[in-house]
Amino acid sequence: MAVSRASSEVHGGRLTVDLSALAANWRRLAARAPGAECGAVIKADAYGTGIDRAGPALWEAGCRSFFVAHLSEGLVARAALPEAALYVLNGLPPGSSPAFAEARLRPVLGSLEELSEWAAFSRGRHPAALHVDTGMNRLGLSVPEALALADDPRIAAAGIDLVMSHFVSAERPEDPVNARQIADFSRVRKALPALRGSLANSSGVFLDGARHDLLRPGYALFGGNPTPDAPNPMDPVVRLDAAIVQVRQVEAGMSAGYNGRWTAPGPRRLATLSLGYADGLPRALSGRGHALVGGVACPILGLVSMDLIILDVTDAPAARRGARAVLIGDGLDVDTVGRSAGTIGYEILTSLGSRYVRDYDG
């Protein structure tokens, strides 16, 4: 069970979340579309930072509309955000309408079947959103299906107040699919002029023609770079560090970790940290990632194991038992960690484990 505050002597991993930076990021994104509302995507436990803390911090900053993925997340978010508009992105499971209504959650309806089921239940009493697929081909009505709803009474019966779609490649502004999606979404909006529109995810906030009435950033709020080919305009929010458990000297030819995947090329000084893949540190960082000890980049050696990793701290004089090594933070950003693991920063954040002591600043 995660603890709310960290002792400076905590033996394992410590996750620090800067709630002031989170709020600043939301305000920065909101300022890019002064005529629109800025919402917040807080799915996957607010990208690993905790819905119960991140949600209220965003509410205090001025956010009023939030998005989660599942009904179960919606229930957690409702407890933390009693007055917010809460949308559930992954649709309406069969027979779940009463649970949505009881918790005042707004399903994002992604098929004609879901629209019919919610309309028959809601009869205009409970709001919802309509998801239109403009290119992703995972969830949502097709564009022709959406255009055909222009005079359909189910729109009013389902209490639809928002129509939305999702970008395929918003982080790549030069990708021609963006322009096609923007054009298709504009066609749908013209057919359903009474509904507000939402297209811009984190990267979409930076695309012209994409902002519409309601922005829904997620990753960028938590410090991820929404403009990967340019400097990150967001403030870092998440810091991850861990204590050094032991420091040892090894000689040339000695191996470290499972299967002896690393062999010392000469005398080296090694440090063991008390966290591993059970804490969301990908095994793919084996031999590829690094941590910072006293500001010095120290490579991860051998295989990342379930509860422990090994660093080469030969060049880090600050390395000693109890000293902290930084896995995310101090310039080692989550996008860099993701690239080192052959993945993306989203996966790093949303995989952060439950064993970390969590410390909230701001």
Which residues participate in catalysis according to the annotation? Answer: 43, 258
Alpha-carbon gap, residue 60 to 19, rounded angstroms: 10
Alpha-carbon gap, residue 261 to 133, rounded angstroms: 46
Per the CB < 8 A criterion, the answer to whether 52 and 42 are in contact is: no
Residues 6+ apart with CB under 8 A from 167: 135, 136, 178, 181, 199, 200, 201, 203, 204, 207, 210
197: exposed, middle or buried (Cβ count in 10 Å: 0-12, 13-18, 19+) = buried
Q: Are strands 13-18 and 105-109 parallel, antiparallel or unpaired?
A: unpaired
Which residue matches tokens 């995989």? 351
Alpha-carbon gap, residue 220 to 41, rounded angstroms: 10
CB neighbours of residue 190 within 10 Å = 10
DSSP secondary structure code for residue 201 in this structure:
-
Alpha-carbon gap, residue 22 to 254, rounded angstroms: 45
Residue 132, strand partner residues: 141
Q: What are phi and psi of 151, to 5 degrees?
A: -120, 25
Q: What are phi and psi of 283, to 5 degrees?
A: -60, -25
For 17, 260, 268, the CA distances from 254, given in Å and listed in that order, are 39, 9, 10
| CA atoms lying within 13 Å on the CB side of residue 109 | 30
Q: Both ends of the chain: CA-CA distance in Å?
A: 22
